[in-house]
Structure 1
Amino acid sequence: MPDALAPLLSRAATWFDRAAAAGWIDAANRARLDAVEHATPADLFHEPGSRPLVVAFFGGTGVGKSSLLNRVAGQALARTGVERPTSREVTVYLHEAVRLAELPTHLPVERTQVVRHSAARWRDVAWLDAPDVDSVEQDNRALALAWLAHVDLVCYVVSPERYRDDAGWRVLRRRQHRHGWLFVMNRSDEGDPTQADDFARILREAGFERPALVSTCCVEPAPDSARDEFNRLVETVDALRSARGVEALERVGLRARLADLHAALRAAMLPLGGDADWQRLDIAAARAAGQAVETILAGTEYALRGVAARFATGDSGPLARLSKTIGGLRTAAPADAPTGHPAVVDAALVGELWDDWSQAKVAACADAIEIETRKLGLAAAPVRRAIEQHAGRVGDEVRSAVHDGLRAALARPGTALTRGLRRVTGFLMAFLPALALLWVAYAAVRGFYAAAHGGAAFLGGAFAVHSVLLVVIAWAVPWLTDRLLRPSLEAAALRGLRGGLRVGLDGARDALLAGVAGARAEAAELRRECERLAADVSAAREAPPALDVAPFVAPASTAAAH
C-alpha cells in the first residue's frame, strides 16, 4: 500500500469506528470505506520500494493474450488456444532476481504460475497473462478482476471481430481511471486497417483523449509490416519501467483510491448535517417542545384544581368568611390547618399531576423531533438517544418542581400587599385593645378620685358595660379585618401548583433542547474531524506525478460517468 494511503485509511477507520459507535453512520457508510481498494502492485513484492513495473495482458477469450506474452519472452511460456491452462490461472513472467512476497489471500497460489527469466531487459518489469475477463466461469473472471488491483499498466487486448461489443471491456471500463492503459488490437492482420481507427474513436468516447493504441499480429513468425506494432508495445513498456514511470503509474492507482476514500468521507458527513440543517432542527424542536408544554399545562389544569381543593376550608371568599365568622365562627382558622405538612403535600401530589398521559405527550414530542431529524437527512439515533436521556426524568423533575412551588406558595400565601396589611391588623389586634384598656383604667381612676372627694357619684354599671364594649370593639375591628384579609389556601395552593408545573415543564423543555444541542455539538466535532481528513485526502490527490502518463490514463470524472 502506498505510503500516502495507509495513514489516511487508518485515520478514516478510526473516525468511522467512532462515528458508528455513536450512531451517526450506518453499515452502508462503513461499507463505502471497506470498499476502498487496499490492494496495490507493491503488495506482490518483498521490497516494494524497488519493485518492478507490473504489466498485465487482459482481454476476452481468444484475442491472443498468451501469444503476446510468448512474443515478449521470445519463447512459448503459455499454450495458446481456446482451452488452455492460462484460461484458469495467472502466468507471471518475472526476473529471477525479484523476490515475490507472500501472495494475498485473494490471489490463490494454486492458480498462479510463476515463470522466471534472466533477461536483463525485463529486469524491472513483471509481465502477467490473466484469465479471460469475459469467461462464462465466474471463478475465472473473479480471478482476473482480483489481480487487476495489483497491476500498474493494463495491456487490454482485443481482436478485430470483438472490439465493438466486448463484455470484458464493459467490466474493465469501471476501472479505467485506476491504471495506466495500453490498448492492443491483436490479430490486426485478420481485419481491416480502419477497425483500429474505429476502436480509437470508441476509446475517445469512453474518456481516453489520446488513447495509446498499437496493432499487432498473432502469426508466428510475425510479418514485417506496418500493421504489426509489437515493437511499439515493448518500447512503450520500456519507457515506463523506470522508477519514475513506476511511481507515476502507482500514483494513478493511488489517486483513484484516494478519490474513493474522499467520496466515502463525504457520504459519511451527510448524516452529520450542516449548520443550516441543525438550525432548522433547533426551530422544529423548540416548536414541538413548546407545544408539548402548553398541551400538558392545559391538560393538567383539572388535576391541579382537584389537588388545590384539598386545601380548602369550606369558605369560598371574604364575604362568605365574614358571614360565617359573624354567624358563629363555625370553621377553624385556615392558618391553623396543618396543610403544609410534607406528608399532606406528598399525598396530594403522588400520581395525580404526572400520569401516563403526560409522559405520552413527552414521548410524542420526542417522536416529532426524531421525524424532523429524519426529514432533514440527519442521523436520528444519536438525537433520539440524547432526548431520551432527559425524557425519562421529566416526571420526577416536574414533581420536584411542583413540590417546591406548592411549599413556597403555602409558606407565603396571598400577595405582598395582603401580607403587609395583615401585619398591621395583627399589631392593631393587640394595640387597640390595650389602648382601650388604658383609657378605661384612666377613666375609672379619675371617676373614683372625683367621687372620693365628693365631687361626683361613683362609676356605675353603665360605665362597666361601655368599657367592655369599647375593648371588644377595639379588638374585634382589626380581628375581623384580618379575617377578611386572610388568603385562601386553596387559591395559594393552586397558584403554587401552576407555577411549579410551569417551572418544571420549562426546565424539562430546556433539558430536551439541551439534548438536541449536545447532539449538534457532537455532530459538529465529528464533521470538523472528517473535513480535516477529507482535506488531507484532497491534498494527497493533488500531488503531481513524477512522469507524464496522461496518454495512458482516463480522467477520473469521465470514468465515473461510465
Structure 2
Amino acid sequence: MESTSSLPESTNPDNTEPDTHALELLERVAKLEDSLTNLQFILAHDASGESLRIKALRQINDYLEPRIKNLNAPLLAVVGGSTGAGKSTLVNSLLGDRISRSGAVRPTTRTPVLAVNPADEPWFANERILPELTRLRGAGYSEGHGMERHDALLVVPHNNVPRGLAILDAPDIDSVSDDNRALAGQLLNAADLWIFVTTANRYADAIPWEVLTEAGGREITVCVILNRVPSGAETDIVPDLQRLLAAKNLDPKLLHVINEVPLDEQQMIPGERLEPISAWLNSLAANAAERQRIAEQTLDGAIKRLQDDVRCLGEQAEDQDLQLSALAKIATERFEFTLGKTTEALKDGSLLRGEILARWQDFVGAGELLRGIEGVVGRIRDRVGSFFSGKPPATHRVEDAIESGLHTVLVGEITNAFHDVDRSWRNTPIGIQLLSSLPAHRPPKELETRAADTIRAWQKDVLEMIRSEGAGKRKTARIAAFGVNGVAVALMMVVFASTAGVTGLEVGIAGGSAVVGQKLLEAIFGEDAVRRMATRARTMLETRTQELIDENSAVYRNEIEAHLQPEIVQELLNQVKPLRGGGYKA
C-alpha cells in the first residue's frame, strides 16, 4: 500500500459534532443500552441468552455509537480468518514491515494489532471504539507490549497505512483458545469492512462460513483473500468460492487470489502478488464518498441486526419471566396448601386427641366440673372455686400441651412444603439455579423457635381478648374466680371443639370435655359472646399461622421477585420499534 500524505489532514475527533438525526439515533441507542445493561439471564452459561446480550452491548459500544457520532471517521478494516490462513503475514506484507507476529506456532496473534496512519491515530488512541480494550502503543510485536493480553489493543502508527483507513490484525476465529475466539468475534463486529483470509484447502470449512453468513446478514463489505492457492488450482476453486459468496449476500468481485509462492527473507509475500489488493485499499482510502457509503451500509446493517437480536432477547427474557412465574405458582400453591392443612387440623378435632385432651381432663377434674356446671352461675363459680382450692391450677400444662400439638402441626406441614417445592423446582434448569442461591437450610434452623413464638403470641392474643371482654365488674369477678389463664384455656379448647375428625369413644370424651369449657365461658360472657370470641380466636390463630407460613415461603418468593423483569422486557420490545424503520437512514 501507499501512503496518502497528499490527502487533507484528518479531522480531529474532538472537534466533530453529530447532526440532529445522529443525535436522535444515539439517544435511542443509549436507552436500549441501558435496558440491555439491566437485563439479567439466570442461566448465564446459556449462549442464546447472556451471550447474545453481551454481543448486543458490545455491538453498541464497539461500533454503533462511535460510527453514528461520525460517519467520516476512518474505516476500520479487520483482517480475520482461520488458524494458519496467513492473516499476520498478509498485514505485514501489505505494510512492508513486521508489525504483527507470524509463524508456525499456533495461535500466533493474541493481542490484536491495529495499524493506523499517524494522522489518523487520534481516532483510535482512546476508547472511541472498542472501549473495553486497553490501548498499547508501539512499533510492533518485537517491541514487547504485552502481546499475550486479550484485554488490550496494540496501536501501531505506520506511514504506509493510507489515511482514512485502519487495518486490524485479529486472532483466529477458530482458535484453540476460547479467549482468542471471543476476541476475534468482538473485533469483527466492530469493523466497517472485513478482509477475510482463507486458503485453498480450507475455504469451505464450516466455521468460516458461519462468520461469513453473519457478515452477509449485516451487509458488511467483505474482501475475501484466497491465500496459498497452488498454481492452476484457482480455475476450479474460484468459481465455487464466488458462488458461495454470492449465496451469502457477499460481493464475489471482491475476491482476491494469492498463489502459493515462497516468502522472501523477511517472511513476507512478494509485493507484486499483493498489487490488486493494495490498489483496492488505496483507492478506497482516497475516495471519501465511497468510504462513507461503506460506513453507512455497514451501520445500517448493524442496526437491523441489532433489532433482530434485541427482539430475540426480549422474547427470551419474556419466556424466562413465564418460567419464573410458573415456579412462583408452584411455591405459592404449595404453601397455600400448607395453610389449608394446618387450618384443617384446627377444625377437625384431631388436636383434642392425645396430650391436649389428657391435660384438659386433668384440669377439669376428669368430668366432675361438667356434672356440677348445670346450676346457676354462682353454683358454677363455687364448684370451680372448690375444685381449685387446695391444689395449684394446672393451666400451664394444658397450655404447654396445646403449644406442643400446634407446634408439631406447624413445623411438620411447613417442612413438608419446603421439601415439595425444592423437589418441583429441581425439575427445571432455572429452578436448579435459583435453589443454588437460596440459604442451604430449608426449612431454616429457626423454624421451630419461630413456630413456638407464633403459638405463644396467639395464646397471648387470647389472654388479651379475655381481659378485654371481661372488663365489666361482674365479668371480672367471675373471671377472677376461675383465673384468666383457666378461662383462656377453656376458650382454646372451644376453638378445637369440632369433632369432625374424632371417632369412637373419643367423641364422648373430647366432646364432653369441650362442653365444660363452653358452659364455663357462657356462664361468664353469655352464649353469643362465646360464639363471637371463639370465631375471633380461631381467626387470630389462622392469621398468626398465615404470617408464619408467609415468612417461610418468602425465601422462594423473594428469589423469584429478584429475577422477574417485566418492565425491562417491555422496554426491549418497545425499543425495537423506533429502530425498525430502516436503520441509520430511518
* TM class, shorter-length: 0.5 to 0.7
- How big is the alpha-carbon RMSD for the aligned residues of Structure 1 and Structure 2? 5.9
Q: Which residue of 1 aligns with 2:542?
A: 506
Relative CO higher for 1 or 2, CA cutoff 8 Å, sep ≥ 6? 1
**CA–CA separation in structure 2 for the residues paired with 1:70 and 1:323:** 112
Deviation at 1:55, TM superposition (A): 1.0
Deviates more, 1:363-372 or 1:78-87: 78-87
Judge conservation of contact 2:454–2:548 (CA < 8 Å) in 1: no
Do the aligned partners of residues 115 and 402 (structure 1) sit closer, same or farther apart at CA in structure 2, a change above 3 Å counting? closer
Alignment of 1:262-277 (within 5 A): 267=316, 270=319, 272-273=321-322
1:305–1:499 Cα change, 3 Å: farther
Question: Does residue 121 of structure 2 align to residue 83 of structure 1?
Answer: no
Does residue 305 (structure 1) correspond to residue 357 (structure 2)? The answer is yes
Aligned length: 455
Give SS of 2:196's match.
strand
> Could you tell me how far apart the structure 1 residues matched to 2:458 and 2:83 are?
81
The answer to whether residue 339 in structure 2 is matched with residue 289 in structure 1 is yes
| Structure 2 match to 1:199 | 241
1:432: which partner in 2?
none
What are the within-5 Å matches in structure 2 for residues 141-156 of structure 1? 144=184, 147-156=187-196
Structure 1's 336 and 256: CA in aligned 2 closer, same or farther, altered over 3 A? Answer: farther
Q: 1:70 touches 1:78 (CA, 8 Å); kept in 2?
A: yes
Cα distance in 2 for residues equivalent to 1:137 and 1:252 = 29
Pick closer, same or farther for the CA change 1:138–1:364 going to 2, 3 Å: closer
Equivalence for 2:455: 398
- Aligned ranges for residues 138-287 of structure 1 at < 5 Å? 144=184, 147-165=187-205, 180-186=220-226, 190-203=232-245, 208-209=248-249, 211-212=251-252, 214-218=254-258, 242-243=291-292, 245-253=294-302, 267=316, 270=319, 272-273=321-322, 282-287=332-337
What's the counterpart of residue 545 of structure 1? Answer: 583
Counterpart in the other structure of 1:481 = none
Looking at structure 1, the residues matched to 43 and 101 of structure 2 have their Cα atoms a distance apart, in angstroms, of 49
Cα distance in 1 between the residues matched to 2:329 and 2:380: 62
Does residue 333 of structure 1 match 2:357?
A: no
Shift of 1:180: 1.8
Following the alignment from structure 2 to structure 1, what is the Cα–Cα distance between the partners of residues 172 and 559? 53
Matches of 2:417 and 2:56, distance apart in 1: 40
**Contact 2:100–2:169 at 8 Å: present in 1 too?**
no
Q: Give the whole-Å Cα distance in 2 for the aligned partners of 1:151 and 1:224.
A: 22
Q: Shift in Å at residue 54 of structure 1?
A: 0.6
For the residue of structure 2 that corresponds to 1:163, the secondary structure is coil
* Letter of the structure 2 residue corresponding to residue 488 of structure 1: V
Contact 1:55 1:154 in 2 (8 A): yes
Q: Is the 8 A contact 2:116 2:155 kept in 1?
A: no
Counterpart in the other structure of 2:74: 52
Say if 1:282 and 1:65 are closer, same or farther in 2 by CA, change over 3 A: closer
Other-structure match for 2:411:
359
Cα 1:233/1:374, change in 2 over 3 Å: same
Q: Give the C-alpha shift of residue 147 in structure 1.
A: 3.6
Q: After superposition, what is the alpha-carbon deviation per residue over 1:315-346, rounded to whole angstroms, capped at 9, x for unaligned? A: 4587x549999xxx99951367669xx98645
What's the offset of the Cα at 1:117? 3.5
Q: Aligned partners of 1:108 and 1:135: how far apart in 2?
A: 23
Whether 1:124 and 2:164 are equivalent positions in the alignment is: yes
- 1:312 Cα deviation after fit: 1.4
Structure 1: segments with no counterpart, 5+ residues = 414-418, 420-486, 549-562
Structure 1, 131-140 or 56-65: larger mean CA deviation: 131-140
Write out per-residue CA displacement over residues 457-498 of structure 1, whole angstroms, 9 at most, x where no aligned residue: xxxxxxxxxxxxxxxxxxxxxxxxxxxxxx734775899998
2:577 is matched by which residue type in structure 1? A
Alignment match, 1:101: 125
CA distance in 1, matches of 2:97, 2:386: 113
Partner of 1:40: 62
Deviations 1:297-321 (A, max 9, x none): 6653224323432441454587x54
Alpha carbons of structure 1 residues 80 and 97: separation in structure 2 relative to 1, 3 Å? closer
Q: Please, which moves more after superposition, 149-158 or 1-10?
A: 1-10
Partner-residue secondary structure (3-state), 2:191:
coil
One-letter amino acid of the structure 1 residue matched with residue 398 of structure 2: A
3-state DSSP class of the match of 2:406? coil
Task: Say if 1:338 and 1:251 are closer, same or farther in 2 by CA, change over 3 A.
Answer: farther
Point out the structure with max Rg over C-alpha: 1
TM-score computed with the length of structure 1 as normaliser: 0.59
Instruction: Specify whether residues 216 and 322 from structure 1 end up closer, same or farther in structure 2 by C-alpha distance, changes over 3 A only.
Output: closer
Q: Which amino acid aligns with 1:56?
A: V
Structure 2 Cα separation of the partners of residues 167 and 522 of structure 1: 39
Structure 1 residues 137, 287: CA separation in 2 closer, same or farther (over 3 Å shift)? closer
Q: Determine what percentage of the aligned residue pairs are the same residue.
A: 16
For residue 117 of structure 1, give the secondary structure of its aligned residue in structure 2: coil
- CA–CA distance in structure 1, aligned partners of residues 71 and 338 of structure 2: 61
| Alpha-carbon displacement from aligned partner over 1:272-293 (angstroms, at most 9, x marks no partner) | 4376775665444423431243
Q: Which residue of 1 aligns with 2:3?
A: none
Structure 1, 530-539 or 84-93: larger mean CA deviation? 84-93
For 1:357-410, what per-residue CA distance to the aligned partner results, in whole angstroms no more than 9, with x for missing partners?
642322223443454566586656789999989997444333443455578689
Tell me, in whole angstroms, the C-alpha distance in 2 between the residues paired with 1:239 and 1:26: 46
Cα separation, 1, equivalents of 2:468 and 2:357: 19
**1:90-114, Cα deviation, whole Å (9 max, x unpaired):** 5544233221324754665524362
- Alpha carbons 1:54, 1:151 under 8 Å: kept: yes
